Amino acid sequence: MQDTKYKLSLVEKEIERRERDDNLAKYNSGKVIHKKQMAFHKCKKKNRWVFGGNRSGKTECGAVETVWLARGMHPFKQNKPTSSWVVSLSKQVQRDVAQSKILHYLRKDWIESVVMSSGRSDSAEAGIIDFILVKNVFGSTSKIGFKSCDQGREKFQGSSLDFVWFDEEPPYDIYQECRMRVLDRKGEIFGTMTPLKGLTWVYNEIYLNEKQDENIWHEEMEWADNPYLDKKEIDEMTKSLSQEELESRRYGKFMQCGGLVYSEFEEQVHVIEPFDVPKEWFDNISIDPGLNNPLSAHWYARDYDGNVYVIAEHFDKGKDVVYHSNRIKEISKRLDWHWTNGKISALIDSAATQRTLASSKSVVELFYENDILVNPKVNKDMFSGISKVKSYLRDGEGKPHLFIFKNCVNLISEIKGYWWGDNDLPIKKDDHCLDEMRYYLMHISKSLTKEPSKSLVQKDKEKLIKKLKRRF
């Protein structure tokens, strides 16, 4: 009997030890949840990135994702034995960051063996690990290999992998090589980083997603998103950093010397899922014309609180006015957009009134012949327009009044890539959508007043007045 009690006590102690050491089981399992971490884990895209400030919780995402996949116990994905790499900037950074985080979440009884590059396997956290063989739930093992960017691209050749985690931004050639490693297994890559190097390849390839790759996904993570950070500590850290440092180290934003023109833009706030917009909200179309250059057109709606919704987009280059007119009519028909006397009304850059040597007619006239009645009387003052856009992105109380349907990909990309240059002027590059959005916002008043409903008596009076006018 005593022997049985003793054995039971040992079992209970072992259970307590495992629960105490099982940091993976504690991850986002209590009342307080890091919502953006969970959004990362739930995402099914094959190329996922978290751009986060220091201590925002981004590295935890990568470490937990790696352990879940290696163990074959990912709660949101199909599981299997895996072979993977964790890529750090250097061996020292590997030891201090990614390796340390993985060992934190990987219980010792889950480790089959550890092979070291330097140091002893019985104190792996103090050395530099080459790879870990992890016991998975299928009764076999998964392999987590560790690589560093200072090894050079050649060291990343040859292997076939299920996934790669980049802890901080790798050189582009290593990123491309790792993409090849997961190709035959239809694997995935994910990265967690603080964007401290400016507008690098990650900015164009991932953040702007210039190639519009449907497998690419990203999110931004800042201190306020981390529910485990103390608010007083956040305030103290905020006061100690310059505005430029805050943008990258707190908010995880890409920075250029001049800064973003529309720094108020937050993709998670201003980009929304499309919905059925009431027809009475339909307001106007705005066009920035182009033939060899892109032509940009967007459909704008307003609710009765003055909020603006960008609900559709046409963006193409190297086409004539007939083509663009047909596309505008097709999109308008799909939206059930309003027509006036058989024509669609729109705003357009005033430069469209000019005739060129190549044509006897202006762009305004050509659009009119194709049933698009364009109004070139727009306010093109750049600084007033930028100020107006900023006020719609965030008013004096910090509230947004401009919302963009996520299918307007070119407008979203231009906002994210619009930077101040020299002489306090924005860099003149990829701004076609932004120009016509300024024209529209400068054209409208802040609020849209709803017409009061008319009584039957008023309607009868209006009919009589019309009849009398016809007689005379």
How high is the pLDDT of residue 383?
Answer: 85
Q: Are residues 247 and 290 in the same domain?
A: no
How high is the pLDDT of residue 89?
Answer: 93
Domain boundary among 221, 254, 287: 254
Residues 184, 187, 193, 197: what is their CA dihedral angle, to the nearest 10 degrees?
Answer: 20
Report the C-alpha gap between 228 and 220 in whole angstroms.
17
Q: Are residues 214 and 88 in the same domain?
A: yes
- What is the pLDDT of the chain when averaged over all its residues? 89
Task: Give the CATH number for residue 353.
Answer: 3.30.420.280
In a domain, 44, yes or no: yes
In a domain, 346, yes or no: yes
Residue from 111, 99, 104, 116 nearest 141 by CA: 111
Q: Could you tell me if 195 and 248 are in contact, meaning their C-beta atoms sit under 8 angstroms apart?
A: yes
Q: Which of 2-16, 89-103, 169-183 has the lowest mean pLDDT?
A: 2-16
In a domain, 418, yes or no: yes
DSSP state of 208: S
N- to C-terminal Cα distance for the chain?
115
Q: Are residues 247 and 321 in the same domain?
A: no
Q: Are residues 178 and 318 in the same domain?
A: no
Q: Are residues 249 and 111 in the same domain?
A: yes
Per-residue pLDDT for 413 more than 80? yes
How high is the pLDDT of residue 13?
Answer: 57
How high is the pLDDT of residue 50?
Answer: 97
In a domain, 191, yes or no: yes
Q: Are residues 146 and 225 in the same domain?
A: yes
How high is the pLDDT of residue 1?
Answer: 62
In a domain, 98, yes or no: yes
pLDDT of 5-56, one tens digit each? 555 565 555 555 555 679 999 999 888 999 999 999 999 999 999 999 888 9
Q: Are residues 34 and 112 in the same domain?
A: yes
Confidence of residue 448 (pLDDT cuts 50, 70, 90): very low
Per-residue pLDDT for 426 more than 50? yes
Per-residue pLDDT for 180 more than 50? yes
165-181 average pLDDT score: 96
pLDDT of 310-346, one tens digit each? 999 999 999 999 999 999 999 999 999 999 899 999 9
Q: Are residues 237 and 282 in the same domain?
A: no
Q: Return the bridge partners of 308, or none.
A: 302, 402
Q: Are residues 345 and 281 in the same domain?
A: yes
Confidence of residue 254 (pLDDT cuts 50, 70, 90): confident
In a domain, 470, yes or no: no
| Tokens describing residue 450 | 């709803």
* Counted domains in the chain: 2
Higher pLDDT, 257 or 274: 274
Higher pLDDT, 230 or 111: 111
Q: Which of 44-48, 56-60, 113-117, 453-457 has the lowest mean pLDDT?
A: 453-457
Domain boundary among 209, 224, 254: 254
Identify the domain containing residue 399 by its residue range: 272-443
Q: Are residues 220 and 336 in the same domain?
A: no
76-88 average pLDDT score: 96
Q: Return the bridge partners of 144, or none.
A: 84, 132
How high is the pLDDT of residue 233?
Answer: 80
Task: Give the CATH number for residue 190.
Answer: 3.40.50.300
Report the C-alpha gap between 17 and 454 in whole angstroms.
76
User: Model pTM greater than 0.95?
Assistant: no
Report the C-alpha gap between 237 and 239 in whole angstroms.
5
Confidence of residue 453 (pLDDT cuts 50, 70, 90): low
In a domain, 10, yes or no: no
Residue from 108, 101, 104 nearest 14 by CA: 108
pLDDT of 362-396, one tens digit each? 999 999 999 999 999 999 988 889 989 999 999 88
In a domain, 248, yes or no: yes
202-212 average pLDDT score: 93
Pairing assessment for the beta strands 402-405 and 271-272 based on DSSP bridges: parallel
Q: Are residues 243 and 358 in the same domain?
A: no
Per-residue pLDDT for 219 more than 70? yes
Confidence of residue 449 (pLDDT cuts 50, 70, 90): very low
Report the C-alpha gap between 282 and 183 in whole angstroms.
45
99-121 average pLDDT score: 94
Report the C-alpha gap between 79 and 74 in whole angstroms.
6
Tokens 């007619």, residue located: 361
Confidence of residue 146 (pLDDT cuts 50, 70, 90): very high
Q: Are residues 246 and 344 in the same domain?
A: no
